[in-house]
Amino acid sequence: MPRYIASRLAVTAVMALLATLVIFLIANMVPGDPILAQLGDVAASNKAFVAEWRAKWGLDLPLWERYLVFLKGVLHGDLGISIASQRPVLEDIAQYAPATIELATVGFLLSLLIGVPLGMLAAIKRDSWVDHLARAVSLIGVSSPTFWLAFIMLALFYGGLQIAPGPGRLDPIAFSPPTVTGLFLIDSLLAGDVATFRDAATHLVLPSVVLAAATLGLITRTTRASMLDNLHQDYVRVARAKGLRERRIVNGHVLPNALIPIVTLGGLAYANLLTGAVMTETVFSWPGLGRYTFRSAEALDFPAIMGITLVVALTYLVINLVIDLSYALLDPRVAR
């Protein structure tokens, strides 16, 4: 097991290094000269001035040296300066991350808590109404564009029925709780502010449901398929021949096996959540990373986009590492 962990860690480190290279290459394949774009026409016509600028930003160096400079910056937490906000990208990201983490966590828990039991029930009661419901939920979940689903929810429950609060994390007139973690649900409780907690919670309902939808479809579908696979395995028949109760067979024998592919799904689900966050936050004016991404894309704020991509890729790698390790815990066959 320690060898397995070491080996996975090594792979992750190598991939992370390669990921920075990929991002560096994307950033440097921009058609046109970024310097010319930044300097403006007058300065750009002055050759000596341009050369000076190039030297200042290290653009006169060969590509690989520039990569080393970039890598050094990344290792020191320097992701460049956002054009739009004129602040270091990492600072921007640190500011917006908590809102997204809060939203994504609630959305993920929601899809897991609904998806796994629904998929299980659908597999056990195959061809019953639960199964049909599960199939409909997962089909609509994976087939509807998140940005549209977000809009429909908002139009229906906020615009139409007026039973849900509007966009944002809190009411426009409310004050944020004192920042400890940046997660409003936790910060408000820490401050003992029940009203703000309730406000934050109600604002979370619609966006988290929307965010959960795509992941929910995926999880339901996989759970069902995996349960069905395992329900017909020989060891289930053996368990039945032992005289075990059906409930015990399902929970004690089938579920531990069926969960394994669901864990592997985690990486995919996380990618879905991120994509979903960009769309959902944009529609719900949620001040998180997703909306920051949208704004940066809209403004073609290049350093910001690259910074986000790098942070997301690294997070993605870490998530996959965690998945690999928990996989080894669940399945004794993986790491001997």
Partner 1 sequence: MPDMRAPAPPSTIAATPVLAVSDLRTQFFTDSGVVRAVDGVSFTVGSGETLGIVGESGSGKSVTAQSLMRLLEEPARIVSGSILFQGRDVLAMSHAELRKLRGAGMAMVFQDPMTSLNPVLRIARQVVETMVAHGSFGEKEATERGVKLLGRMGITTPKRAINSYPHQFSGGMRQRVALAMGMSNEPALLIADEPTTALDVTIQAQILELLRELNRDFGTAIVLISHDLGVIAGLCSRVLVMYAGEIVEEGPAEAILSHPKHPYSWALVNAVPRLDREPVAGKKLTAIEGAPPDPLSVTRGCRFAPRCPFRIERCAEHPELLEIGIARKSRCWVTQAGVGLDTPAPAPSPLRDRAKPPQTLSREQRDQEIDPSPLLEVKGLVKHFALPKRGFLEPYRHVHAVDGVDLTVKRGETVGLVGESGCGKSTLARLILRIHRPDAGSILFEGNEIAQAAPAAIRPLRRRLQMVFQDPYASLNSRMTVAQILEEPLRFHGLATTSTECRERIAELLETVRLDPKSGARYPHEFSGGQRQRISIARALAVKPNFIVADEPISALDVNIQAQILNLLLGLQEELGLTYLFIAHDLSVVRHISDRVVVLYLGKVAEVAPAKDLFAAPLHPYTRYLISALPIPDASIERRRERLRLAGEPPSAVDPPSGCRFRTRCPLAERICAEIPPPLIEHGQGHFAACHFPGKF
Partner 2 sequence: MTAFDQASAALATFTPVRSKGQRWRRRYGIATLGATIILAWLLIALACPYLTSYSPDAVDVSLRLRPPSAMHWLGTDELGRDVLTRLLYGSRISLVTGFAVVILGAAFGTLVGGIAAFMRGRGEELIMRLTDLVLCFPPIILALAIAAALGIGTMNTIIAMLVVWWPKFARLAHSLVLVQRSQEYVEAAVVIGLKPMRILARHIIPNAVGPLIVLVTLDLGNAIITFAGLSFLGLGVVPPTPEWGSMVAEGRELVEQWWVAAFPGFAILSVVLGFNFLGDGVRDWLDPKARQR
Q: How many residues make contact with partner 1 (CB under 8 A)?
A: 31
> Is 116 or 273 the residue whose CB approaches partner 2 more closely?
273
| Helix, strand, coil % in the chain, rounded to nearest 5 | 75, 0, 20
Give the nearest distance from C-beta 232 to partner 1 in angstroms: 8
Chain residues in the site for partner 2 (CB under 8 A): 15, 18-19, 22-23, 26-27, 29-31, 139-140, 142-149, 151-152, 154-155, 158-160, 224-225, 228-229, 232, 270-271, 274-275, 278-279, 282-283, 293-294, 297-298, 300, 302, 305-306, 308-309, 312-313, 316-317, 320
User: Is residue 7 at the binding interface for partner 1, with CB under 8 A as the rule?
Assistant: yes
* Tokens, residue 1: 């097991």
User: Could you give the angle at the alpha carbon of 280 between the alpha carbons of 259 and 96, nearest 5°?
Assistant: 95
Give the residue among 87, 59, 90, 67 at the shortest CA–CA distance from 77.
90
Give the nearest distance from C-beta 297 to partner 2 in angstroms: 5
Q: Which stretch binds partner 1 (CB under 8 A): 63-71, 77-85, 229-237, 269-277?
A: 229-237
Give the nearest distance from C-beta 245 to partner 1 in angstroms: 7
User: Is residue 252 at the binding interface for partner 1, with CB under 8 A as the rule?
Assistant: yes
List beta partners, residue 246.
none
**SS3 (DSSP) at 88:** strand
> Is 11 or 16 the residue whose CB approaches partner 1 more closely?
11
Q: Are 177 and 260 in contact (CB under 8 A)?
A: no
- Answer for which of 45, 109, 235, 318 binds partner 1 (CB under 8 A) is 235
Give the nearest distance from C-beta 151 to partner 2 in angstroms: 5
Report the partner that residue 234 touches, choosing among partner 2, partner 1, none (CB closer than 5 to 8 A by kind): partner 1
For residue 198, what are the contacts with CB-CB under 8 A and spacing of at least 6?
A: none
User: Is residue 242 at the binding interface for partner 1, with CB under 8 A as the rule?
Assistant: yes
User: Is residue 260 at the binding interface for partner 1, with CB under 8 A as the rule?
Assistant: yes
Phi and psi at residue 175, to the nearest 5°: -100, 145
Q: Are 20 and 70 in contact (CB under 8 A)?
A: yes
User: Is residue 318 at the binding interface for partner 1, with CB under 8 A as the rule?
Assistant: no
The per-residue b/e assignment along 288-316, b for 16 or more CB within 10 angstroms, e otherwise, is bbbbbbbebeeeebbbbbbbbbbbbbbeb
Rounded distance between C-alpha atoms, residue 55 and residue 15, angstroms: 31
In the range 27-56, which residues lie near partner 1 by CB under 8 A? none
Binding site for partner 1 (CB under 8 A): 3-4, 6-8, 10-11, 14, 233-235, 237-245, 248, 252-253, 256-257, 260, 330-333, 336
